[in-house]
Amino acid sequence: MTPDIEAQRIVIKIGSSSLTSMNGEVSRRKLEKIVEEVVRLKDDGHEVLLVSSGAVAAGYRRLGFLTRPDSLPEKQASASVGQGLLIETYSDIFISHGYVASQILITRSDFSDELRYNNARNTINVLLERGIVPIVNENDTISMDFLKFGDNDTLSAKVAGLVDADQLIILSDIDGLYDADPRKDENAKLLREVHEITPEIEAAAGDPGSANGTGGMKSKIDAIKIAMASGITSFLGNASSKNIVYDAVHQEAKGSYFEPQSSLQNLNHKEQWIAFNSGPEGEVTVNHTIREAIINDKISLAPTDIHSISGRFDKGAVVTIIDVEGEIIGLGVVSYSSQALNRLINQTEVELKNYENVAIESKHLVCHLDAEVPVNNLITTT
């Protein structure tokens, strides 16, 4: 163990362009580089999980395609071939260093279901505690576009929160976060330390820049926002740099470091699931007079505070909480179904005395990033 670094749980995301050769096939040399750095961390006592892209890029040439296919069935067929090639190569290299790798294929629906979400966390925890290196990828073979995470940057941030990681390292073909697009502005400066993702930083995010990948700088910023809200330190750097992973853990790598604000309350597992994975099933519109009290005073939301309900949902469902002007306040777990709530909101306070824990219990927490507002609330049952 390196004396100045305590054992950490580290999630490393590596993109397709950092794993494949110029002709689109898996580069064993590139995989050996990343595995050797993971092994070095493992030898120092760290727990490491890889979120690895590359299945489609690794497989499409084996199906006879000259370029990455565009249609969903062709991509899924390519992933079916490529995922096997990818994990076989990873496993072979790790075994040569005395470590065992495991494969975990995840879909967005696995995260949106709370039971499966918790089961995934328990499984990965066992693997990490037993010294295994889990290699996570989205199950591209069966995922539909509208059910996908969108990119492995987002997946890596959600996995980091899932397993209580200490650090998320996102590797790509860029050196880090710049104050402007370095491809367009020769005076763009690399930002080494970032404590807040500002609108200016988001505006500087570019489009995807690699033929073999799906994520651009915007997806990386979105992922880092999720990690920061979960209290996780993040790093963004170039996968081709020598010792990039090891140096990133030791705060010595060239790249950008993102430290979550200590003033923010970090999300626990339940709150992370609600904020980033649940998928709201309806909307609850609250009266304008109660909006500020929900945000500032952490009050409970009673049926008399509800203006209207949209959608059909059961007890325990996650819903979006909005005000009468349509502005999103946060997310909530309801204590009653939409049918029951529709009955309750039309009753008087006297009639409601027979009910306990009515509607929604609220707590002011931190950002719900998907709402695209700077500050939001999570409204959860106690």
Give the C-alpha separation, 336 to 342, whole Å: 10
Segments of the chain scoring below 70 in pLDDT: 1-4, 140-150, 205-215, 261-269, 277-278, 295-300, 346-382
Going from the C-alpha of 17 to that of each of 1, 35, 55, the distances in angstroms are 32, 16, 11
pLDDT in tens, 159-183: 998 999 999 999 988 889 988 777 7
pLDDT of amino acid 102: 97
Give the CA angle between residues 278, 280, 282 to the nearest 5°: 155
> For the CA atoms of the chain, what is the radius of gyration?
22
All structural domains of the chain: 9-266 (3.40.1160.10), 279-379 (2.30.130.10)
pLDDT of amino acid 73: 87
Q: What is the largest CA-CA distance in the chain?
A: 73
User: Which one, of 292, 334, 278, lies nearest residue 310 by Cα?
Assistant: 334
pLDDT in tens, 283-317: 888 887 777 777 666 566 777 778 888 888 887 77
The pTM score is: 0.76
- Phi and psi at 249, nearest 5°, equal -65, -35
pLDDT of amino acid 274: 74
pLDDT of amino acid 165: 94
pLDDT of amino acid 298: 57
pLDDT of amino acid 261: 67
User: Which one, of 267, 259, 173, lies nearest residue 216 by Cα?
Assistant: 173
User: Which one, of 92, 101, 165, lies nearest residue 136 by Cα?
Assistant: 101
The answer to whether 44 and 5 have CB atoms below 8 angstroms apart is: yes
Contacting residues for 87 by C-beta, under 8 A, at least 6 apart = 101, 103, 135
